[in-house]
């Protein structure tokens, strides 16, 4: 195997929103930065939300399990730009009450909503946070109309998309992912990108990180053993891969002991009229009435994704997919009541993730499906296909009562795209992995700057929170060099 040595001032491991923002801001501040990504450079040739994209950009094709009495299938990106390349780009500022709760419970400095406003506004400006200029699609509007009928609060959620007007008056939207925004900014200022490079461990000397050992694959599929020396390292691999790497490196205190998620159940709905338009992408409306404990919304409805949510029910999926224009996938999401763990297993490259869903979790998800079903029937749904093995297709509102008995463990199809809190921040060293600004407790030059450091489940899409904290932490780092 070829071997190579690299020297840099700052090594950043992981290129999702946390890592990309860190790379861009440090490079623009004149720092010598290397950004390492295990996956490939963002593949733009694949059709968005297609099976090709899932195979190219998702770890394990998007089907990785967290174990417990009921398995949770979670999605992890594995490409340059991380989750920003595959998600809907829905943007929320963190809930003020959550920030107040975290600040008090975890002893976090400077986490007031007012203190974060400059970081929110900078990200919102640079990512073109905006609403859909030509109106949301019919599947999304079912949420808004149904909420109005139920007298529930619902809103269109803005996204990091930039829109331009076509000659015919229609609008073309471009997702402002990291590969469109912060990664080019980092490159322009001299940041060196290393895609297809997996960091195996960080070598330590006393309480200091010295270098990272990595395996890189070049364009002719040769493996190169890298030894990357750094002055500072930011680990930004996400809520699962960050603790996996740190534990593999021998750093274990409060690492991978407190994973939280937003578990989600999805339910396809059939209408008499056309509601699904593939060019619309992910619908943008959500019910806010029951946040943070319950969120109701509409998910992606392309044929491959519809097939996933139809697979648990008897019948010919191909026949059902003939009606895809009249179908959409809706969801209910909640906050996990207990924390999960992430552990490395001998001789295996992938971590073992465990998160036990409680009876309360299953009750909340069942209540979410009940409320969601009522909303969908109010706007003309003809059939609802429940995410539970053995449950019949629901055609009447009174049959929704089945969800209120609590969803059964082991038979309910539960997924998540939101994972966080595996290395929480704060000054309470009994349970926090990093300090208030992401520096690893007990170490001189190791930082975490991704979803891992959120102290708990935010109850909204976490990426707005992650990006604001990433920017805040880099600002603090530069001021204290």
Instruction: Assess whether pLDDT exceeds 90 at residue 247.
Output: yes
Alpha-carbon span 6 to 187, nearest angstrom: 17
For the chain, give the mean pLDDT: 93
Phi, psi of 111 (to 5 degrees): -110, 15
Q: Do 243 and 227 fall into the same domain?
A: yes
272-307 per-position pLDDT tens digit: 999 987 666 788 999 999 999 999 999 877 777 788
Residue pair 454/421 in contact by the 8 Å Cβ criterion: yes
Encoding tokens for residue 452?
Answer: 């891992």
Answer yes or no: is 50 within a domain: no
Q: Give the mean model confidence (pLDDT) for residues 114-124.
A: 97
- Min mean pLDDT across 40-44, 125-129, 455-459 is at 40-44
Highest mean pLDDT among 16-25, 168-177, 338-347: 16-25
Q: How many separate domains does the chain show?
A: 2
Alpha-carbon span 475 to 235, nearest angstrom: 17
Answer yes or no: is 141 within a domain: yes
Instruction: Assess whether pLDDT exceeds 70 at residue 46.
Output: no
What value does the CA radius of gyration of the chain take, rounded to a whole number of Å? 22
407-439 per-position pLDDT tens digit: 999 999 999 999 999 999 999 999 999 999 999
Answer yes or no: is 371 within a domain: yes
Q: Do 95 and 229 fall into the same domain?
A: yes
CATH of the domain at 244: 3.50.50.60
Instruction: Assess whether pLDDT exceeds 70 at residue 314.
Output: no
Q: Which of 293, 418, 441, 476 is catalytic?
A: 418
CB atoms within 10 A of CB 106: 18
pLDDT value at residue 219: 74
- Choose one of 371, 399, 416: the last residue of a domain: 416
Q: Name 94's Cβ contacts closer than 8 Å, sequence gap at least 6.
A: 113, 116, 458, 460, 464, 465, 468
pLDDT value at residue 189: 98
Q: Do 205 and 123 fall into the same domain?
A: yes
Highest mean pLDDT among 84-88, 390-394, 444-448: 444-448
Domain that holds residue 409: 134-173+263-416
**Three-state DSSP string of the chain:** CEEEEEECCEEEECCCHHHHHHHHHHHHCCCCEEEECCCCCCCCCCCCCCHHHHHHHEHHHHCEEEECCCCEEECCECCCCHHHHCCCCECCCCCHHHHHHHHHHHCCCCCCHHHHHHHHHHHHHHCCEECCCCCCCHHHHHHHHHHHHHCCCEEECCEEEEEEECCCCCEEEEECCCCCCHHHHHHHCCCEEECCEEEEEEEEECCEEEEEEEEEECCCCCEEEEEEECCEEEECCHHHHHHHHHHHCCCCCCCCCCEEECCEEEEEEEECCCCCCHHHCCCCEEECCCCCCCEEEECCCCHHHHHHHHCCCCCCHHHHHCCHHHEEEEEEECCCCCCEEEECCCCCCCCEEECCCCHHHHHHHHHHHHHHHHHHHHCCEEEECCCECCCCCECCHHHHHHHHHCCCCCCECEEECCEECCCCECCCCCCCCECCCCEECCCCCEEECCHHHCCCCCCCCCHHHHHHHHHHHHHHHHHCC
- Min mean pLDDT across 150-159, 311-320, 450-459 is at 311-320
Answer yes or no: is 349 within a domain: yes
CB atoms within 10 A of CB 345: 9
Q: Give the mean model confidence (pLDDT) for residues 241-270.
A: 97
Q: Do 278 and 304 fall into the same domain?
A: yes
CATH of the domain at 312: 3.30.410
Answer yes or no: is 156 within a domain: yes
Torsion of CA 234, 237, 243, 246, to 10 degrees: -50
130-180 per-position pLDDT tens digit: 998 888 899 999 999 999 999 999 999 999 999 988 887 778 888 999 999
- Choose one of 377, 396, 416: the last residue of a domain: 416
Q: Do 439 and 381 fall into the same domain?
A: no
Q: Do 152 and 252 fall into the same domain?
A: no
Answer yes or no: is 472 within a domain: yes
Q: Do 250 and 278 fall into the same domain?
A: no
Alpha-carbon span 357 to 66, nearest angstrom: 10
- Choose one of 365, 400, 416: the last residue of a domain: 416
Answer yes or no: is 381 within a domain: yes
293 flagged as catalytic: no
Answer yes or no: is 65 within a domain: no
pLDDT value at residue 43: 61
Q: Which residue shows structure tokens 């170490």?
A: 443
Q: Do 144 and 282 fall into the same domain?
A: yes
Q: Do 230 and 186 fall into the same domain?
A: yes
59-80 per-position pLDDT tens digit: 877 778 899 999 999 989 999 9
Q: How far is CA 98 from CA 28, 93, 110, 287, 454, in A?
A: 32, 11, 14, 18, 10
Q: Do 252 and 276 fall into the same domain?
A: no
pLDDT value at residue 51: 64
Residue pair 457/417 in contact by the 8 Å Cβ criterion: no
Instruction: Assess whether pLDDT exceeds 90 at residue 196.
Output: yes
User: For the whole model, what pTM was predicted?
Assistant: 0.95
Q: Do 186 and 228 fall into the same domain?
A: yes
Q: Do 384 and 475 fall into the same domain?
A: no
- Min mean pLDDT across 15-24, 104-113, 181-190, 314-323 is at 314-323
């Amino acid at each position: 195997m070829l071997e190579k040595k690299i020297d840099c001032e700052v090594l950043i491991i992981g290129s999702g929103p946390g890592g990309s923002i860190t790379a861009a801001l440090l490079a623009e501040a004149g720092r010598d930065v290397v950004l390492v990504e295990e996956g490939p450079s963002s593949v733009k040739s694949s059709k968005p939300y297609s099976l090709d994209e899932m195979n190219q950009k998702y770890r394990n094709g998007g089907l990785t399990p967290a174990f417990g009495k009921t398995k949770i299938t979670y999605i992890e990106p594995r490409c340059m730009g991380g989750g920003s390349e595959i998600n809907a780009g829905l943007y929320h500022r963190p809930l003020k009450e959550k920030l107040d709760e975290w600040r008090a419970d975890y002893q976090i400095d400077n986490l007031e909503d007012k203190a974060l406003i400059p970081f929110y506004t900078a990200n919102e400006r640079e990512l073109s946070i905006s609403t859909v200029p030509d109106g949301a699609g019919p599947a999304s509007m079912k949420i808004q109309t149904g909420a109005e009928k139920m007298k529930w609060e619902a809103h269109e959620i803005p996204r990091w998309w930039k829109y331009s007007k076509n000659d015919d008056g229609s609008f073309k939207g471009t997702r402002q992912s990291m590969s469109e925004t912060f990664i080019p900014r980092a490159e322009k200022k001299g940041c060196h990108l290393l895609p297809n490079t997996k960091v195996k461990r960080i070598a330590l000397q006393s309480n200091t990180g010295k270098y990272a050992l990595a395996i890189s694959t070049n364009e002719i599929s040769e493996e190169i053993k890298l030894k990357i020396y750094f002055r500072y390292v930011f680990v930004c691999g996400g809520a699962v891969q960050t603790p996996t790497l740190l534990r593999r490196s021998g750093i274990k205190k409060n690492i991978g002991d407190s994973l939280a998620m937003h578990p989600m159940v999805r339910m396809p709905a059939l209408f008499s009229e056309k509601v699904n338009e593939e060019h619309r992408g992910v619908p943008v409306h959500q019910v806010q009435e029951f946040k943070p404990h319950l969120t109701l919304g509409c998910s992606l409805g392309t044929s491959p994704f519809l097939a996933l949510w139809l697979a648990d029910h008897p019948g010919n999926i191909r026949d059902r997919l003939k009606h895809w224009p009249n179908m959409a996938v809706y969801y209910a999401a909640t906050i996990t009541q207990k924390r999960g763990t992430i552990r490395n297993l001998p001789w295996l490259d992938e971590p073992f993730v465990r998160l036990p869903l409680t009876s309360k979790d299953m009750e909340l998800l069942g209540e979410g499906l009940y409320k969601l079903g009522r909303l969908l029937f109010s706007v003309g749904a003809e059939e609802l296909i429940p995410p539970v093995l053995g449950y019949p297709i629901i055609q009447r509102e009174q049959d929704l009562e089945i969800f209120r008995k609590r969803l059964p463990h082991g038979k309910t199809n539960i997924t998540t795209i939101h994972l966080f809190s595996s290395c929480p921040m704060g000054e309470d060293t009994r349970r926090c992995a990093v300090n208030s600004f992401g520096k690893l407790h007990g170490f001189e030059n190791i930082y975490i700057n991704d979803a891992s450091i959120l102290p708990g489940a935010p109850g909204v899409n976490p990426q707005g929170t992650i990006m604001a904290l990433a920017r805040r932490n880099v600002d603090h780092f530069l001021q204290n060099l």
